Amino acid sequence: MTATSPDRPFTVVSLLPRLLNTNGDAGNARVLAQRIRWSGHDALVVEVHSRADLPEHVDAVTIGSGTDADLLPARDALRTLVEELRVWSNSGVPILAVGTGWELLSWGIELADGSVLEGLGLVAGHAVPRAARATDDIIVASKYGRLIGFENHARDYVGADASPLGRVIYGIGNSDTRASGPQIEGLTMGEVFCTHLHGPVLARNPALADHLLQATFTRSGLDYVRGARSVSVDETARAARNQVAVRLGQAAE
């Protein structure tokens, strides 16, 4: 996979959107593509359900969340793409994985019946069952600003303490049973970003989207400049985040 040149569209890959779109997270690919267009460049979203769908060039990748009933078929489909995923992550292609899509990239998933579904082993850590499902708004302090979304997960994530996406201000995140230190959310590894935040997360938190896009453009030898339409849309997203934050007792931005 080569970096983008200005004479072709940026290509954003949405992996397994039929299986991994329970919370609308496949929309993250459309967010990236639209912000690229608003910056004055062509972009397209390619849905990849199997190796046969892989485009020649890949500039960014998104993976959504699915139901536990779809874990095995989704894992098996991702296994056929593991070498591509490894190449993309090692070469700086931005990858965003949400919910079970993240869990499938990990060492594995411990299920409620005691069995373990082996993951792809591309990111550190693994998922373990929670006593009670986490379903609520979540606020996270990160280097990309305050992130707000909705978490909906039946498993904690352990083993990502060294490289979290951020610190939980409100909500659960990776776990609410840490023996010491702050609660954390998500995982980062180079330009691989994993999170429990739904929304979709990039629509509600455009600063994170723009970080991924800056990495995408840098690989192409280009500078990413947020378009005028993005500025307007981002004000709407900021107002929506503030509405949630204030309701949860936090200050507006």
Cα angle, residue 194 at apex, residues 50 and 20 outer, rounded to 5°: 35
What number of CA atoms fall less than 13 Å from residue 90's CA on the CB side? 8
Torsion of CA 155, 61, 17, 187, to 10 degrees: 10
Strands 192-195, 145-158: parallel, antiparallel or unpaired by DSSP?
A: unpaired
Is 196 considered catalytic here? no
> Is 8 a known ligand-binding residue?
no
Give the span between the Cα atoms of 175 and 187, in whole angstroms.
13
Q: Which one-letter DSSP state was computed for residue 52?
A: G
Catalytic residue among 41, 126, 198, 211: 198
Count of alpha carbons within 13 angstroms of residue 180, beta-carbon side? 0
Residues 6+ apart with CB under 8 A from 221: 3
Torsion of CA 195, 197, 199, 201, to 10 degrees: -40
Q: Which residues are marked as active site? A: 198
Q: Report the binding-site residues for substrate.
A: 133
Q: Report the binding-site residues.
A: 133
